[in-house]
Amino acid sequence: MNYPQDYLFYLVHFQGSRDYFECHEILEEYWKDMEPGVKDSHWVGLIQLAVSQYHHRRKNFAGALKTIAKSISILRTKKDEVLTLGIDYTKLMDALEKSLENIKKQLPYQSINIPVTDSLAEQCKALCVQEGFTWCTPSNMEDTELVNRHTIRDRTDVIEEREHQKILRQNKRKN
């Protein structure tokens, strides 16, 4: 089966590099291109899953709880779409429920894997090798750049866009 390249790289980062921030970035762009504004898309459910893992790993239990709950809520209603992605839906939902309970109990983060078909896993393993990652390796909790990715990234473009939007709003109010 052919899967979207962005989805494959989401999986590579989710289960290879464990760069959940990158997972979010990759799949958000894809979602915006494919289903802009559809906030209950299965893509959003997967994005929220990555965000929840990022927060949990950083011990941001409130953020992790909020985003895992959103992920579960969306994915519960998107079984058919999830199944087209080579994911074992029942195992995925079980893993998410277990992660939710661990977050509620404020237990330490443990890497989870999205249960995918063997053929999809083989595609992702090959991409992991190309990227220098190992498929299904747990997060390296000592890698502060990975764990704290959002605090060290270059936000120049985000700041510039916010300033641009602020100026547009001010100009609109004047007119």
DSSP letters spanning 41-81: -HHHHHHHHHHHHHHHHTT-HHHHHHHHHHHHHHHHT-HHH
Question: Which ranges of the chain have pLDDT less than 50?
Answer: 155
Q: Which among 129, 148, 131 is positioned nearest to 139, based on CA atoms?
A: 148
Determine the pLDDT at residue 42.
Answer: 97
Determine the pLDDT at residue 174.
Answer: 76
CA separation for the pair 148, 54 (Å, rounded) = 9
CA separation for the pair 24, 30 (Å, rounded) = 10
Q: What residue ranges define each of the domains in the chain, with the CATH number in brackets?
A: 5-174 (1.10.3450)
Determine the pLDDT at residue 27.
Answer: 95
What is the pTM assigned to this prediction? 0.84
User: Mean pLDDT, the chain, as a whole number?
Assistant: 90
Determine the pLDDT at residue 173.
Answer: 73
Determine the pLDDT at residue 169.
Answer: 73
Determine the pLDDT at residue 149.
Answer: 63
Determine the pLDDT at residue 165.
Answer: 73
CA separation for the pair 48, 124 (Å, rounded) = 21
What pLDDT digit, counting tens, does each position of 123-157 carry? Answer: 999 999 999 999 999 987 776 777 666 665 554 66
% of the chain beyond a pLDDT of 90: 77
Contact 111, 134 (CB under 8 A): no
CA separation for the pair 53, 48 (Å, rounded) = 9
3-state SS, residue 87: strand
Determine the pLDDT at residue 97.
Answer: 98
